[in-house]
Structure 1
């Protein structure tokens, strides 16, 4: 058990969470309450739970924070990041064996020759939670100029290996990096715990698990162990994909969106050897963060997919058991707290936590009592 030591420094922000600071919303599973749980953040990008209930939060400008007993404090030992445009310190992943390994994984935009690249690394969280010790960068993509489309979601596979999503770096419909199996951009990368490739598809760069992605900013494992992800389209054409090793998901050859300013992308909505999304959005909602819900606290939602929207201010839910016009039936949960939702996770008690970029707050969604 990590010693529960509070670091009393000027950098620490004490949190006040009055009971009345709640909003009740109606959902298809009944009334739910949205409550603030962590406040005072600066553009939170991701969060993860430690076994003792502490929470790690990334801020895009490069800070990793520990939330403990009503206070937040910075963690030192974080790598240098390229905090420009959409780049910065991005996802955080707590492996299942944290109690033994104390490993914390981070994805980030790394400054490299040529500009910036999607990167992933890991360090060991000190016993007092104040430092990430011995951080190692394990994997770095190609360096490109600009600050767009880094992808960067991390998911631990059931066997302990790790998936990393990467974006196409904003190369647009004319750029074919996502289709090139020798490049990192626009892919799902599959890594062993030491950063070596965990997948080898014939003729592809070692570690490339799937290709043809634009910018996947949400990912999770389904109950069957399959990898699911949500990714940004262009003007329309955001997608939910169930990802299989060795498959091509189309970008930028096929898409349900169109070019900014109009005109079809590539060959249209389908092409030989390219997978169809399980669900798509048109117009775009800019999906970010994703969790396949266990049903622990709300049994009616078991197996449903929750995700955030960065441009339409809602927390979304897809029901894979119910068909909808563009894939699955969808519910949109909207409230003052659901502005620009960046990350969505399930807490150990089964509540759904989500991060709002607008007000720098992490909220908890749970059934009304």
Structure 2
């Protein structure tokens, strides 16, 4: 196991300020990096109609991948990485719904099955029909800092949309001295020239830092009306060291009411000096989030060179970054002395080398019975839709779908009819629909 002197720790941290391997432009093919919180069947116990409860667990070799970046780091328990490869039995049909979107980041469904789609670098929001027609850009959104990993990020339709017409979005907010993730909501005025009215910023990540990296930005509404928001630690040394500090929002999952107020059962509400919105700490850059059928939050976060993690963040728990992990700096310099430490949670699953996750849903639909309860994660570096089969909160099988598209998949959501909808991260980004053939 590697050991570090203090000068080496500081040097390693400084090296790690580099962007996660997200290309600029994002589809240029440079080395890797890097919800649609559709509630799904119980990720631990699939639905009875899935036909898999009595099936034997998968066996055999894992999905083909390169050698680990940090081979001396071993999993903490069997099945924490490189589980057996599985294969979907249902033939798939991929239909292009729309194209011509510039690096789209997220999709959310309106009640009539039209989609809200964000463009990360332009700060534009569009309404896209099932036939592929795209509205003019929605007017009235605030300006974004669109550099690198910033811009307009996630979008969600409010749980009371039928009466309020409220939509919510996350974005990199330009500020004096830098920027930070913000969550805004507004009333959507539909029509030939859509716009938003009464924009309110309901949450601001603090402190402000001058970084263009690791904002996080996924949102998940819970059935009881709470809102989870995932936050990155900004990558640079000044932010990374705050990931486990409860006085900072950086590197956290937060939980708020839709108006931005703080739920009274949040874990740090009565901790002196702590940010009361915090739900869990010790995260790097969480870009995937969804709820299972027990309404438990699952996330996937970006690792550095190795160490992408699936977690199930629970109230008041510490997920270890940057003290523990399964990766290294992009230079090859070490980050962690160990993969485990007292009081810090282990990931449910990790990848080394990384898939670069972005966007996730847990499948609950009827179109693909064999997928019920499975996690689906957009893979940027993997250029795949990554499927994880989960039993009793452990990953038992993995599949990389749609590799033939050769596309960075930025978001995946389950549509109202049970199809999966994807957006591809490219200057000519697309909305795709996956159904049985």
The aligned counterpart of 2:80 is none
4+ long deviations beyond 3 Å:
172-175
State the alpha-carbon separation in 2 of the partners of residues 178 and 351 from structure 1: 36
Q: Does 1:293 align with 2:358?
A: no
Secondary structure in 2 aligned to 1:108? strand
Alignment check: 8 A CA contact 1:152 1:217 kept: yes
Distance in 1, matches of 2:365 and 2:113, equals 20
Contact 1:48 1:56 in 2 (8 A): yes
- 1:172, CA displacement in angstroms? 5.1
Match of 1:354, SS state, is strand
- Work out the CA distance in 2 between the residues paired with 1:51 and 1:231: 30
CA RMSD of aligned residues (A): 1.8
Segment drifting more, 63-72 vs 284-293: 63-72
Report the secondary structure of 2:294's partner residue. coil
Aligned pair partner of 2:299 in 204, 208, 229: 229
List per-residue Cα deviations over 1:106-130 (Å, max 9, x = no partner): 0000001211101101001114270
CA contact (8 A) 1:295 1:303 kept: no
Quote the residue 2:204 is aligned against.
140
Structure showing greater relative contact order (alpha-carbon pairs closer than 8 Å, 6 or more residues apart)? 2
Offset of residue 200 of structure 1:
4.2
Q: Any gaps of 5 or more consecutive residues in structure 1? A: 1-25
The residue number in structure 2 matching 1:14 is none
Give 1:258's match in structure 2, choosing from 303, 306, 328: 328
Residue 348 (structure 1) aligns with: 416
What TM-score, normalized to structure 2? 0.75
Alignment CA distance shift 1:323-1:241 (3 Å) = closer
Q: Among residues 81, 84, 106, which one is paired with 2:144 in the alignment?
A: 81
Task: Report the counterpart of residue 71 of structure 2 in structure 1.
Answer: none
Structure 2 residue corresponding to 1:52, chosen from 94, 112, 133: 112
Aligned to 2:215: 150
**Counterpart check, 1:100 vs 2:170:** no
Aligned length: 341
Shift of 1:322: 8.5
The correspondence of residues 1-369 of structure 1 with structure 2, limited to 5 A, is: 27-60=87-120, 61-68=122-129, 69-73=131-135, 74-128=137-191, 130-141=194-205, 142-171=207-236, 175-198=240-263, 199-201=266-268, 202-203=270-271, 204-321=274-391, 327-358=395-426, 359-368=428-437
Q: How many Å apart are 1:258 and its aligned residue?
A: 1.3
Taking the aligned partners of 1:345 and 1:102, their CA distance within structure 2 comes to: 21
Separation in 1, partners of 2:126, 2:353: 35
DSSP-derived class of the 2:243 partner: helix
Larger strand fraction of residues: 1
Distance 2:142 2:396 in 1: 39
- TM-score of the two chains, using structure 1 as the length reference: 0.89
Determine the structure 2 residue equivalent to 1:12: none
Shift of 1:262: 2.1
The whole-number CA distance in structure 2 between the counterparts of 1:162 and 1:337 is 33
Distance in 2 between residues matched to 1:88 and 1:127, nearest whole Å: 23
Q: Secondary structure at the match of 2:312?
A: strand
CA contact (8 A) 2:240 2:251 kept: no
- Structure 1 residues 323, 226: closer, same or farther in 2, change over 3 A? closer
Distance 2:277 2:393 in 1: 34
- CA contact under 8 A between 2:301 and 2:309: conserved in structure 1? yes
Q: CA offset at residue 173 of structure 1?
A: 10
* Distance (Å, rounded) in 2 between the aligned partners of 1:173 and 1:257: 20
Aligned partners of 1:136, 1:271: CA distance in 2, in Å? Answer: 41
Matches of 1:34 and 1:80, distance apart in 2: 34
Change (3 A) 1:322 1:336: farther
Q: Secondary structure at the match of 2:367?
A: coil
TM-aligned CA distance change 1:320 to 1:220, over 3 Å: same
Whether contact under 8 Å (2:386, 2:401) holds in the other structure is: yes
How far does the alpha carbon of each residue in 1:223-280 deviate from its partner, in whole angstroms, 9 at most, with x for none? Answer: 1110001100011000010110100000000001112222432332111101111110
Distance between the aligned counterparts of 2:313 and 2:406, measured in 1?
Answer: 28
